[in-house]
Amino acid sequence: MDRLSNTVRPYAWGSTTAIPALLGIAPTGEPQAEMWMGAHPGAPSRITRTTASGETELALTEAIEADPEGELGAATVARFGPRLPFLLKLLAAGAPLSLQVHPNLDQAREGYADEEARGVPIDAPHRTYKDANHKPELICALTPFDGLCGFRRPTEAADAMEALGVDSLKPYVDLLRAHPEEAALREVLTAILTADPAEMADTVAEAAAAAERLGGAHAPYARIAHNYPGDPGVLAAMLLNYVQLQPGEALFLGAGVPHAYLDGLGVEIMANSDNVLRCGLTPKHIDVPELLRIVRFEATEPGVLRPEAAPSGEERYETPVDEFTLSRYTLASGAAPTDLTAPTPQILLCTAGSVTVGELALGPGESAYVPAGETVEAAGSGTLFRATVAA
C-alpha cells in the first residue's frame, strides 16, 4: 500500500478555493481545477517504495510497468492490458467546463485508427482521438454541484429560447417544434455550430442579456455566457437538461451524451482515456462532422444516481461499465475496522474526517493506492471513497 502524491491541474475554469479548502491549505490565487489520482501518463501519481538501495520515489506508472500482474492482478491485466484502467479525480469547477461528448469503444477504436492511418500527429490541435479507448465517467458531488447532462425535450428547449424574445432565435424555435425529436435536436445543434461566427456572436450576446434580465431558470445560461461571450455553446447548452446535485448524488455520463460541469466540487472517476469531442464553450477545435456522428440525439432524463447499500457498510454507485466502480464508506469512531481487501487494484480517497487504511493515516483530500490482493482495513471517523475495477 502506498500513499499517493498527486498533481493538481491549473485549468482556467478551476475554482481557486475548493481544493485548498478540502486539503486545509492556503489558496494560491491560481485556479486549482483537478487533482489526479492514478496512472495517467499525463500526470501520474507518485509513490515511495523501499528497494535494496533504500527508499525510492517513482511514478505509479513505473511501478505498474515493472510488475503489471503483481500490481493490478492477473484478471485485470487479462481484461484491460498492463495499465490501471481508471483515473480518479477531485474536480473543482469555478466556471463552466467545455460542452463535450465521449465516443463508445468501437467509435474510439475506429477514430483512432483512422487518424493514425492519415498521419495526424497525436499532439495536433485538430486531433480528435488521442487513444483507442472510450471514456465513460461518473461525477459524485461533495458540495452542491451544477451541470448539464443530456438533451431535454425539444419543446422545452423551444420554450426556453422563445422566452428570450430574440428574433434571430426564431428559426431554432421553429425547428424544435416542427420536427420529430431526433431530427429537431440534430438540425438545431448543426445549425448552431455551423452558423456564421459574427452573426452567432451577436445572437449569443442578445440571448445572454435577455437571460440575465429574466433570471430564474435562465440564470445558468447568463452565467455561462459571462464566461464564454459570443460562444455558440451558450445556445447549445439550452438544449440540455440543467441538473443540480446535492452532496452524495452523482451523474453517470455514458457514450454520446452531451454534458458540461458548471460549478461545484466532486469526486470524478473515468476510464483512462483522453477522448473528448467538444461542442462549445471552448476555444479548442470542434470537429463538427465527427461530433454529429457520435452524439446520441435523444431526449433523456438526467438520471441522478444515489448510492446503493451493500455489505460491510459499502455504498456503491452502480454503473454499466467494467473499467471502474466507485463506492463510499462512512466510518464511525470506535466501530470495527472495515475490510476492503479486493482482488483488483484500488485507490482510496478520504474526503472528510480522519481515517486510517492499513498503517496510513489519511485526512481530507489524501489518498492511497492498494495493489490487487493486498490486505487492507479502514477505520476512523470520516468519509472514504474507494475506486476499483468492476468485478
User: Can you say how many angstroms the Cα of residue 61 is from the centroid of all Cα atoms in its chain?
Assistant: 21
CB neighbour burial string for 212-249, b if at least 16 within 10 angstroms, e if fewer: eebeeebebbbbbbebbebbbbbbbbbbbbbbbbebbb
In the block, which residue shows the cell 480517497? Answer: 349
Residue 107, amino acid: Q
List the beta bridge partners of residue 213.
none
Task: Please tell me the distance from the alpha carbon of residue 391 to that of residue 388, in angstroms, as a whole number.
Answer: 9
Longest dimension (CA), the chain: 74
Spatial distance between the Cα atoms of 261 and 342, rounded to a whole number of angstroms: 32
* Contact between 356 and 362 (Cβ < 8 Å): yes
Residues 6+ apart with CB under 8 A from 118: none
Cα separation, 38 vs 45, whole angstroms: 6
Query: Which residue in the block uniquely carries the three cell numbers 467509435?
Result: 107
CA distances to 2, 48, 62, 68 from 55, rounded to whole Å, are 12, 6, 15, 21
Kindly list the catalytic residues: 278
Decide: 251 and 113 in contact? Cβ < 8 Å. Answer: no
DSSP bridge pairs for 91: 34, 266
